[in-house]
């Protein structure tokens, strides 16, 4: 009989979590460490990365902080020189400019694309080759429900999240025979710094909660289980997938209310 109890065991594995300073990234780093991984807690905010690593160490886990700016190729290279080739790579950071598409400036458009899509590419481009040379590895990057469902005011964000999925699927096809799995996670509404603008409006907060089948927002730790699953041998035959953790948002039809304010 297969040793099913060991499927989630990450003992002896190294995991690099980009965006570990807060939100889903922090929860993912904590969860990976809880299952035995040594976690490199990377973030553009070195202080936040250090705080996450210290918290994991204080709970008996193994973790180290690492400064990494996804928008800066030199920063990614410097982080890679310290980190080496991890067994699992998790890339979580995103930004959004919430406004009607036709009122976006070039700078706003470029800023969202540069982090969400190109930043993910920069990180994967640097770490995936080592995994392929070794013959093993799991890459997990974050998409969103916006890869499939859109709403007014999130056009460029949705474009980057759909683009991330297709980019990852292409990489899954290219690296599958070399033992590297590549998957995307699509969270729904999660209480993180990225969603502060929505949470600060009681009307918006409640409208979003009602859109889910569970009628509530998620906490970051509720996304961490999918990160552990995709990083571990429990998902050894899963690649090129888009895994929804959205409280039923994409399964339930509905209207987006209140409407986005006019420009």
What is the predicted pLDDT for the residue at 187?
A: 98
The closest of 178, 176, 69 to 118, measured between CA atoms, is 69
Instruction: Please report how the helices 155-175 and 120-134 are oriented relative to each other, as an axis angle in degrees rounded to 10.
Output: 10
Crossing angle for the helix pair 23-34 and 46-58, nearest 10 degrees?
30
CB 12: neighbour CB atoms within 10 A? 9
Write out the catalytic residue numbers. Answer: 157
Strands (E), 19-128: 38-43, 62-67, 88-91
Extract the runs of DSSP E, i.e. beta strands, from the chain. 14-18, 38-43, 62-67, 88-91, 137-142, 180-187, 242-245
Using CA atoms of 80, 42, 145, 176 in order, give the dihedral in degrees to the nearest 10.
30
Q: 10-residue block means of pLDDT along the chain (263 residues)?
A: 94 98 98 98 98 98 98 98 98 95 97 98 98 98 96 95 98 98 97 79 89 94 98 98 97 70 65
Greatest Cα-to-Cα distance within the chain, rounded to the nearest angstrom: 62
Q: What pLDDT does residue 199 have? A: 78
The b/e string for 168-185 (b: 16+ C-beta within 10 A; e otherwise) is bbebbeebeeeebbbbbb
C-alpha distance from residue 70 to each of 29, 100, 116, 174, 221 (Å): 17, 26, 9, 23, 23
> What's the predicted TM-score (pTM) here?
0.94
Question: How high is the pLDDT of residue 232?
Answer: 98
pLDDT at 257: 59
Q: What is the pLDDT of residue 201?
A: 85
**Are 130 and 163 a contacting pair, CB within 8 Å?**
no
Residue 123 and residue 171 in contact, taking contact as beta carbons nearer than 8 Å: no
Task: Give residue 184's pLDDT.
Answer: 98
Q: What pLDDT does residue 262 have?
A: 65
Q: Which two tokens stand for residue 14?
A: 């190294």
Tell me the torsion sign for CA atoms 184, 188, 190, 193: positive
Which H/E stretch holds residue 12?
none
Domains and CATH numbers, the chain: 10-191+220-242 (3.40.50.720)
């Amino acid at each position: 009989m297969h040793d099913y109890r060991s499927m989630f065991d990450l003992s002896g594995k190294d995991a690099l979590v980009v965006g570990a300073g807060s939100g889903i990234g922090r929860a993912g780093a904590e969860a990976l460490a809880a299952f035995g991984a040594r976690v490199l807690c990377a973030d553009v905010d070195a202080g936040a990365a250090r705080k996450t690593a210290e918290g994991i160490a204080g709970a008996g886990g193994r973790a180290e902080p690492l400064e990494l700016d996804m928008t800066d190729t030199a920063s990614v290279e410097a982080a890679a020189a310290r980190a080496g080739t991890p067994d699992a790579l998790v890339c979580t950071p995103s930004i959004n400019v919430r406004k009607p598409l036709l009122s976006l400036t070039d700078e706003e458009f470029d800023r969202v694309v540069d982090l969400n899509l190109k930043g993910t590419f920069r990180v994967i481009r640097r770490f995936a080759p080592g995994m392929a040379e070794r013959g093993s590895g799991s890459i997990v990057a974050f998409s969103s429900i916006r890869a499939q469902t859109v709403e007014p005011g999130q056009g460029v964000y949705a474009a980057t999240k759909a683009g991330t999925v297709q980019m990852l699927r292409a990489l899954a096809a290219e690296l599958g025979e070399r033992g590297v799995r590549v998957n995307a996670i699509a969270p729904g509404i999660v209480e993180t710094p990225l969603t502060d603008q929505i949470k600060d409006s009681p009307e918006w907060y409640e409208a979003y909660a009602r859109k889910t089948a569970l009628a509530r927002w998620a906490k970051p730790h509720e996304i961490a289980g999918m990160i552990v699953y995709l990083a571990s041998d429990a998902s050894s035959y899963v690649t090129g997938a888009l895994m929804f953790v959205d409280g039923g948002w994409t399964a339930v039809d509905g209207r987006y209310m209140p409407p986005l304010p006019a420009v």
